[in-house]
Chain A
Amino acid sequence: MKDHEILARIGKGDEGALDYLYKKHYRMMTKIVLSNNGTEEEAKDIYQDALIVFWQKAVKGNLVLTSKISTFIYSICLNLWRKELERKSRLVNEEKDGQASQNFEAKEQQKIIHECIGELGDTCKRILTYYYFDGMNMNEIAEKLNFANTDTAKTKKYKCKKRLDQLIKTRFSSNDFLD
C-alpha cells in the first residue's frame, strides 16, 4: 500500500490501515527504544503511542506530509521516548515533592470517567471518541455511523455528552469535581 493510499484510508477513519502500518513498521520502530535502554514492553508502548499520534493527525485529513509516513512515525517515536526518559528521571524528584499523590488523584478521576464512558451505549462511545479524539466533524461522523444527516449527529452527540456528564456527576458526590 502506498503512503497516499494509507492516508486516504485513515482519512476515512479506516482502522484497518492503522493495523497495516503497525505490523509493517513494528520491528524498525521498536528498535529505536530497544537500542536505547528500553524494554520490549516500553518499545511496544512507545510505538503504539506514536502510531496513535499519527492516526489522530491523519484522520482529520489535513495532514500534509513532507516525508514518508515511516520517517514521520520514526521521529514521533524518538520524541516520545526522549520524553519518557525525562519523565522517568523526574519521577524520583516528584516522589520527594509529594507530586506523586496529586498524580494519583488525577489518575483516579480519569479511571472513574473511563468507567462512566464504559456505561454508555456503543453509538455514544463512538460519537464522543470520534469527535473528541479523532477530530471528525459532524458530517464525517454522520457518514461513518450512517446517520440520516449532520443534524442527527449533532443531536446525538449533545445527548451522549449530557448523559456522560450526568453519569460522572453521580459518581462524584464531592464538590471538588464537577461543581
Chain B
Amino acid sequence: MTNSNYSSMVERYLDGDMAQNEISEFEQLIEQDPLLKSELNSQQQVIQGIQNYRQTQLKMRLDNIDVTPGLFETIASNTITQIATGVAITGSLVIGGYYLLQPNEKNQLTEISIEPKTIPFSSSKFQIEKLNAAPLVDIPELQHQEETVKEAIPESNPTTNETDVNKEAATLNPTIVSPMLADTGSTTDDNSIIVDVDNPTLPNQVNQEESIEVETVNDSKPDYRYKFSDNKLFLFGDFGGVPYEIIEINNRSGKRLFLYHGETYYRIHNSVTKISQLQSVTNIELINELNILRSNKSEQ
C-alpha cells in the first residue's frame, strides 16, 4: 500500500466517512501495519494542531473584549439574593440626577437669588393638581422641577396664600398630566431656583436615604412582576441571568425607582404591596433622561 493510500484511508477514518465494516478492517490493519499506525498518529497530531490553532484564535478574540463592568452594574444571578446598589452609589446618582434633570440650571447656580414671592401662582397650582392625582399616576420626569419649587414655598415664605390655593383646588379637574407638561416650559426660569443655594444640606439628606434591599424570585413566567414588602423589593420573573440595575432618584419630593433590564426601563412604585406587573417606561423624554443618567454614571 502506498503512502497516498494510507493518507486517504486514515483521512476517511478520522473524518468518520467509513462504514462500520470498513472501520473494523481498518482497526485490524492498524495493529498489523506499523506504517499505517504511524500515519494515523501523525494525522491525529495535525488535527489536534488545527484544533489548537482555532482555540488560540478564539482565545485571542476573547482577550480583546473589554470586560470592565459598569460602576453600578448589578449582576443578577439565578440563585443569589442580592442587595441593591448601595447608599453611596445611590447618593451620587441622586446628585447627578438632580442636576441632570434640570439642564437649564446647571450654569446659573451662582447667579440665582431665591425670591419665593416671585414664584408665579401656576407653580402653586401644580401642587394642588398633584394632590388630586391618583396615587399610581406615572408623573413625567419634567415635573421634578416643579416639585422642588413647590417645597420651596413653605420654607421661604410660610405666608403663601394657602387659602386661595385650596379654593382653587376644589375647582380643578384632576386629569392633570397634560397640563403639567405644558406648564414646564413657562416655569423653567422660576424653577431654576435650585434649592442647593439656600439649602446646602441637600446632599446629606440624600445620603440619609435608606438603601433598598432587592430579592429576585426566579420563575418561568414570561412577564416581570414586583411588590414591596417591609421596604424590600421583590422581583419576580425569568431574568435569565441578565444583569439588571435599580436606579433610584431621590429629591426633596420623594424617591423614584426604576428598574433597567434588557434595554428597557420599568417604573417601580414603592406603594405597591401586592404583586403587580412591571410597567415599562414609555415616556421618551424620561427614557432619554435615564439614559443620560446611566451613561453619566458609567463614565465616572
Residues of A within 8 A of B (CB): 1-3, 15, 18-19, 22-28, 48-49, 51-52, 55, 68-71, 109-110, 113-114, 116-118, 125, 128-129, 132-134, 161, 164-165, 168, 177-179
**When the two chains form the complex, which single residue of B3, B55, B242 contacts A179, counting CB atoms closer than 8 Å?**
B3
A19 vs B65: C-alpha distance when bound (angstroms): 7
Residues in B with CB closer than 8 Å to A68 are 78, 240-241
Residues in B with CB closer than 8 Å to A18 are 58, 61-62
Residues in A with CB closer than 8 Å to B48 are 110, 113
Residues in B with CB closer than 8 Å to A116 are 49
Selected interface stretch from B39-47, B112-120, B149-157: B39-47
Residues in A with CB closer than 8 Å to B59 are 48-49, 52
A125 vs B52: C-alpha distance when bound (angstroms): 12
**B264 interface residue, CB < 8 Å from A?**
no
**When the two chains form the complex, which single residue of A2, A70, A129, A178 contacts B57, counting CB atoms closer than 8 Å?**
A129
The answer to whether A19 touches B51, judged by C-beta atoms less than 8 angstroms apart, is no
Q: Given A51-B62, A179-B3, decide whether A28 and B77 contact each other with a Cβ distance below 8 A.
A: yes
Residues in A with CB closer than 8 Å to B53 are 113-114, 117-118, 125, 129, 133
The answer to whether A179 touches B39, judged by C-beta atoms less than 8 angstroms apart, is yes
| Smallest Cβ-Cβ distance to A132: which chain B residue | B50
**When the two chains form the complex, which single residue of B45, B55, B65, B69 contacts A22, counting CB atoms closer than 8 Å?**
B65
Going nearest first, the 9 A-B pairs with the smallest beta carbon separation are: A113-B49, A133-B54, A129-B54, A26-B67, A178-B42, A132-B50, A133-B51, A70-B241, A117-B53
A95 vs B51: C-alpha distance when bound (angstroms): 27
Residues in B with CB closer than 8 Å to A110 are 45, 48-49, 52
**B11 interface residue, CB < 8 Å from A?**
yes
Residues in A with CB closer than 8 Å to B83 are none
Q: A48-B62, A113-B45, A134-B54 are in contact. List 6 more A-B contacts (CB 8 A).
A: A19-B65, A129-B51, A132-B54, A165-B7, A178-B39, A179-B35
The answer to whether A117 touches B50, judged by C-beta atoms less than 8 angstroms apart, is yes
A28 vs B57: C-alpha distance when bound (angstroms): 24
Interface hub of B47, B48, B54 (most chain A Cβ within 10 A): B54
Chain B min CB distance to A3 (Å): 7
A69 vs B240: C-alpha distance when bound (angstroms): 9
